[in-house]
């Protein structure tokens, strides 16, 4: 890896309600605005992944995960950055999701979310989620 390549850690929360998951649309002004994703964001320096997950879900939705488990991790490479994305499944949470950043949010069956313009990295994750939810 070239020395200048940075590794950014990103957490994404797959918040479940029954057989649906909570999806969010990236608001205007952010990169990839208009595309859909799981709520989350970059871990801050010195922050562990769990802390980042809790902080992002509180900032974006005002919810607190009560149970969560790391489900999948993938790496995306750009010219000068690599992003390591950590997807957490959250079967229990406290609070009512509130779109605090002006983003649209929606509870969707994963197979219906595949009809939305999803972030490219999320497409295989959402496909796998449809199977995972059926298994539970
Ligand atoms: N939150 C989130 N980010 C994702 C997902 N999938 C995916 O490729 N990403 C990528 O991971 C990066 C997360 O950056 P972000 O802009 O959401 O992070 P952030 O909320 O900390 O943003 P900020 O830098 O504006 O404060 C983006 O490059 C985004 O495209 C996902 O499902 N959720």
Locate the domains of the chain by residue range.
6-135
Angle in degrees, CA 63, 116, 65, rounded to 5: 15
pTM: 0.94
Separation of 57 CA from ligand 1 center, angstroms? 13
Per-residue model confidence as pLDDT tens digits over 48-70: 999 999 999 999 999 999 999 99
The pLDDT value given to residue 6: 83
Q: Which atom of ligand 1 is nearest to the CA of 38?
A: 32
Q: Provide residues with CB under 6 Å of ligand 1.
A: 10, 12, 30-32, 37-38, 40-42, 83, 85, 119, 121-122
The pLDDT value given to residue 81: 86
Per-residue model confidence as pLDDT tens digits over 73-83: 999 987 788 99
Q: Which atom of ligand 1 is nearest to the CA of 60?
A: 20
CATH number of 6-135: 3.90.79.10
Separation of 42 CA from ligand 1 center, angstroms? 6
The average pLDDT across 1-18 equals: 86
């Amino acid at each position: 890896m070239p020395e200048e390549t940075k590794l950014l850690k990103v957490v994404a929360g797959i918040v479940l309600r029954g057989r649906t998951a909570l999806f969010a649309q990236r608001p205007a002004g952010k990169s990839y605005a208009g595309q859909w994703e799981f709520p989350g964001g970059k871990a801050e320096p010195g922050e562990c992944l769990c802390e980042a997950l809790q902080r992002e879900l509180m900032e974006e939705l005002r919810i607190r995960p009560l149970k969560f488990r790391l489900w999948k991790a993938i790496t995306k490479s750009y010219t000068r950055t690599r992003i390591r994305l950590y997807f957490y499944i959250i079967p229990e949470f406290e609070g009512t999701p509130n779109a605090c950043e002006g983003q649209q949010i929606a509870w969707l069956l994963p197979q219906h979310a595949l009809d939305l313009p999803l972030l490219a990295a999320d497409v295989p994750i959402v496909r796998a989620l449809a199977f995972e939810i059926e298994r539970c």
